[in-house]
Amino acid sequence: MSIKGNLTMFDYAIRNGLVVDGTGAPGRRADVGVRDGKIVAVGEVTEEATTEFDATGLVVAPGIIDPHTHYDAQLFWDATASPSNLHGVTTVIGGNCGFTLAPIKAEDHDYIRRMMAKVEGMPLVALEDGLPWDWTSFGDYLDRLEGNLGVNAGFLVGHCALRRWVMGEDRASEVANDEELKAMTTLLAESLEAGGLGFSSSQSRTHSDGDGNPISSRYADRREMLAFSEVVAAHPGTTLEYITSGCLDMFSDEEMNLMVDMSTTAKRPLNWNLLTIDSRSPEKVARQLEASSKAAEAGGKVVALTMPTLVPMNMSFRTHCALFLIPGWGDVMGLPAEERIAKLRDPVVRAHLDEIAHSKDAGVFRRLSHWANYIIGDTFAPENQGLSWRDVGSIAEEQGKEPFDTLLDIVIADGLRTVLWPKASDGDDASWQARLEAWNDPGVMIGGSDAGAHLDRMCGSNYPTSFLGDCLRKRKLVPMERAIQMMTEAPADLFGLDDRGRVAVGQHADLFIFDPGTIGSEPATLVNDLPGGSPRLVADAIGVVRVLVNGIETIVDGKPTGNLPGTLLKSGRDTTTVDPSAAVSV
């Protein structure tokens, strides 16, 4: 790279790269000229630039758009949205699953913090120490982020915050009356007018607040959900995101019909998270995608988000995770730690828990019951020395015990602190082929990293580099151009980001330059860098040479520059209305 000393036509020029423009078209050798944060030339560019970058042998692609993150809190202490920024992500959508930090009253700060800690795995101390908590309205919240972003970021308005503001604690578990519904729809309208990208909600049975009670949005009736959808319809450039219990397994007819009616009422696309694919249950994918086909028939659009990589999530018998959600386990897992340990020592209790976990009643959580496949991560007790990074099955065989007994003996010795990594049960070739088929369905879109949430449990933010590495050098399920299109143009089209997601004249210069021979991700590692010293999992990228946001370098040779050129995306200003009946297939 060279820097000129005089004023020239372009601010930044990328020379000799293989431009993969995000449309799915074959890559072509071309230069890219950037001025004032926009792409102003693509092709043979002879004009000089203040900054010249030779991209010979590299791919020049649009910046990745992550449609499902929870960076709502982290951006206050980490404006770069790491580690997503390391992996080519230039735009993030937050405020998902109905969980937002605004609108909020001062007396509800503690409640919202504890709810976010419970449902999204954000350490409470980080939420307490890392944010100023000096806003009230949704517009106030957005104002605090304006001008201090390393990525482009837009936020949906969360259902739980709306209900807490209007219905408070006393009415949290009630159906809204007419007066409350009017107040909530007015509050949503004000939030959308301030720049909220749309409305998000969760009615999943797995979501409980910091007190262990069902989140308030679970009590909303159909009338309430459609009233919010009507508000969305009245505001340009907005969208819907919705989570139900059926997202975990299979939709009920009632859930499916509501999703379709929300989309057609709002006249907007609705996306949901997360479509998991396993070759052993093909009927599940077929059922889930019925929501998309029914919506299309009705003139709406329902899109399932799915991940193109397997994202491991660690478990613990000490802190809240999926193990706590196994039906019938709550009476034991909800006890204080010492009482929990006493119960887990009891052979009768062990047998009962094991039986429940393997039963049909466990539903989607039955996949957690393959105890022999758990990998033991970090251990703490002397008697567990040497067991780390071994699977429970081999340890059980060595000790002459059943896998579940072996697992519980290990975690009890560690005071329940043992870090457990379940092996993926859906990594077979047939499951990958099923994923490929799903990716080509117009009702499916790549995304769903949950970046910014479950910080010490999982790291899904590295999916762009992992997926590209897989496409180029491993499974090669789709061409590189198609993989890039699925992570750039497709989400841009879904959210109405007309001037992002492509390498073309007039687009914002959000660019991802990488080495196709090495692109990939390092394994996730635990670091203690959150406010209050709390831990999180992060993964470094391999082969990421440059990332530009609005024409400014944010990553150089895999390292952050510290520049903060990101834009706060506001509905109607930075997004256009997407007609679901004519939405581009993703």
**In a domain? residue 578:** no
For the chain, what is the domain count?
3
For residues 537 and 458, is the Cβ–Cβ distance under 8 A? yes
Residue matched to tokens 């106030």: 140
- Pick the last residue of a domain from 458, 478, 498: 498
Tokens for 316, please give them: 């613990």
Contact 459, 542 (CB under 8 A): no
Residues 121 and 21 in one domain: no
Alpha-carbon distance of 112 to 102, in angstroms, equals: 9
**Boundaries of domain holding 341:** 322-422
State the CATH number of the domain containing residue 103: 3.20.20.140
Domain edge (last residue) among 422, 440, 472: 422
Task: Burial-class residue 249 by CB neighbours within 10 Å (0-12, 13-18, 19+).
Answer: middle
Dump pLDDT digits (tens) for 505-562. Answer: 999 999 999 999 999 999 888 899 999 999 999 999 999 999 999 999 999 999 999 9
pLDDT digits (tens, 9 = 90+) for 549-571: 999 999 999 999 999 999 999 99
Determine, yes or no, domain membership for 586: no
Longest Cα separation, the chain? 79
Counting as low any pLDDT under 70, the low residues of the chain are 1-8, 583-586
Tell me, yes or no, whether 274 and 217 share the same domain: yes
Helix 138-145 and helix 178-193, axial crossing angle in degrees, nearest 10: 20
Alpha helices in 131-221 (DSSP H): 138-145, 159-167, 178-193
Q: Could you give the C-alpha distances from 406 to 329, 372, 373, 411, 412, in angstroms and in order?
A: 18, 9, 12, 9, 10
Considering the domain boundaries, does residue 574 fall inside one? Answer: no
The residue from 400, 422, 444 where one domain ends is 422
Do 238 and 294 fall into the same domain? yes
Distance CA 232, CA 439 (A): 28
459 & 543 share domain: no
Q: Are 147 and 240 in contact (CB under 8 A)?
A: no
What per-residue confidence (pLDDT) applies to 564? 98
The pLDDT value recorded for residue 6 is 46
pLDDT recorded at residue 583: 56
Predicted local confidence at residue 525, as pLDDT: 84
Q: Tokens 């890219």 map to which residue?
A: 32
Q: Is residue 256 part of a domain?
A: yes
Asked if residue 250 and residue 162 are part of one domain, the reply reads yes
Is the residue at 585 inside a domain?
A: no
Q: Same domain, yes or no, for 410 and 530?
A: no
Residue 581 located in a structural domain: no
Residue 77 sits in the same domain as residue 148: yes
Q: Quick check: pTM over 0.75?
A: yes
